[in-house]
Amino acid sequence: MLGFLNHGRMGSYSDAVNLGRATGAPPDTALVRHFASRPGLALNLEQEIRPDLGVFARLSVNDGSREAYEFTDVNWSASVGFLLKGNQWNRADDSVGLAVAVNGISAAARAYFAAGGLGILIGDGQLPHPGAENIVETFYSMRVVEHFTVSANYQYVVHPAYNRDRGPVSIFALRLHAEF
């Protein structure tokens, strides 16, 4: 379990929306920033099923009344998945994983983005049909030589950026990891 409290200059979504309405401008949290705190909580559960197979579940929530600036605009999330080592196909240093995640934003964040606000990663001036962001992700990580791995990753995102008018989107990635 992880509890956290971010403290810094951050704007309230509702203050930004109210100022935007009063001035006829899109809401902007930068105009209403003051020192405030933003608490959150996360729970991570991991279980080894066998030496080469593990499963996990994660839940998180944070105060969605203020702007996010630390990582992403998500205010709550739930995910489950598994990781399988390559022992069964004679590649003990390889692994394959699969996860499913559902992410959401608070009512205050939905109102802010619907009014034209911009966040860290999202915001396009409208959010007429908000909904949870649903993600299925899979990867294969292959050890090429000692201290060097290559991982191929695929994500399928339904309702990206919490907008049911967007997506689905496929995201492909390739990761190179070297240890010295």
Separation of alpha carbons 124 and 44, rounded Å: 32
Distance CA 130, CA 158 (A): 12
- The CA distance from 131 to 80, in Å, is 19
Identify the band that residue 71 occupies on the pLDDT scale cut at 50, 70 and 90. Answer: confident
Q: What local confidence, expressed as pLDDT, does residue 124 receive?
A: 81
- C-alpha to C-alpha distance for 27 and 118, rounded to whole angstroms: 8
pLDDT value of position 123: 80
CA 95 to CA 172: how far, in whole Å? 18
| Mean pLDDT lowest among 83-87, 93-97, 124-128, 166-170 | 124-128
Distance CA 117, CA 123 (A): 6
Task: Kindly list the strands in the beta sheet with 53-62, ordered across the sheet, starting from the edge strand earlier in the chain.
Answer: 2-11, 33-50, 53-62, 76-86, 91-104, 133-145, 148-158, 169-178
| Residue 60: pLDDT over 80 | yes
**pLDDT for the residue 149:** 97
The tens digit of pLDDT for each residue in 149-166 reads 999 999 999 999 999 988
Q: Tell me the average pLDDT across 65-79.
A: 90
Sign of CA dihedral 177, 93, 156, 13: negative
What is the pLDDT averaged over residues 48-70?
94
Contacts of 29 (CB under 8 A, 6+ apart): 10, 11, 12, 13, 16, 66, 67, 112, 117
**Which range, of 54-68, 112-126, 129-143, averages the lowest pLDDT?**
112-126
Whole-number pLDDT of residue 21: 95
Write down the pTM of the prediction.
0.87
Q: Which helix (H) or strand (E) holds 109?
A: helix 107-114
| Rg, C-alpha atoms of the chain | 20
> What mean pLDDT, rounded, does the chain reach?
94
pLDDT value at residue 125 = 79
Over residues 80-90, mean pLDDT: 96
Alpha carbons 96 and 149: distance in angstroms, whole number: 13
State mean pLDDT over 70-74: 84
